[in-house]
Amino acid sequence: MTDAALARPGRLILVPAVITLAVTMLRLTGELQNWSPTLFSREPGGGGSLVGISWLVPIFGAWFGWLLARSGERPASVSRALGLTVLAIAIMPAAGFAAQAAGLPELSPATLVVFAVVSLIGLAVALWAWPGLGRVLLAYALAARIPVVVVMLFAILGNWGTHYDVLPEGALEMSPIPKWLLIGLLPQMTIWLWFTVAIGGLFGIVAAAIAGRRRASA
């Protein structure tokens, strides 16, 4: 891989983005057709469905890290990069404990906004851990999540009854556009970007370290 290719994350993410879009469309089709709930859960949040794009994050994170390392692009310090990435991941559970201790309602818009802001901080830390990989993962995260934002808009407007438009039990009912902004646009463009860059970064750094050792031993 050339330096020019590394400077353009779009070259690296093209195939993974297409695969991810295909999985999103398969997931939507499975839910609309009432296929197996184990594979295509319609529960709010996805219910741990086995078909979903979140499972692709570790795979593509490791793949990106491996490719970058094999081309000569590595973090300045693997231990530093791992430490910052673990910090970026730990920020969100810490925020959850803090929100619970402060008595914030679990399903309130205020709580979601807090998590969105904290996730952006975590995202910044994850990008700092290994900027080269972070840029690639952020580009992939946007390519993966923007289609979901669009799907959620249509699902909410059409009341499709999928996990893309169903509110958790106990959540405040609202009109379609505010609902899309709150459960669609906001988390997809904050929390899920953090998840992709932080979790993908963890696997990518480990893969890069393995690739570096194999190259050194060769």
Domain residue spans of the chain: 3-217
Number of C-beta neighbours around residue 217 at 10 A: 6
Binned at pLDDT 50, 70 and 90, residue 215 comes out as low
175-182 mean pLDDT: 94
Residue 117: per-residue pLDDT: 95
Q: Model's pTM, two decimal places?
A: 0.92
Output the CA–CA distances (angstroms, integers) from residue 186 to 105, 109, 121, 147, in the order listed.
Answer: 18, 10, 15, 14
Question: What is the Cα–Cα distance from 207 to 198, expressed in whole angstroms?
Answer: 14
Binned at pLDDT 50, 70 and 90, residue 164 comes out as very high
pLDDT per residue as tens digits for the range 39-67:
999 998 877 799 999 999 999 999 999 99
Q: What is the mean pLDDT of the chain?
A: 90
DSSP tag of 181: I
Residue 63: per-residue pLDDT: 96
Question: What is the Cα–Cα distance from 207 to 209, expressed in whole angstroms?
Answer: 5
Number of C-beta neighbours around residue 127 at 10 A: 20
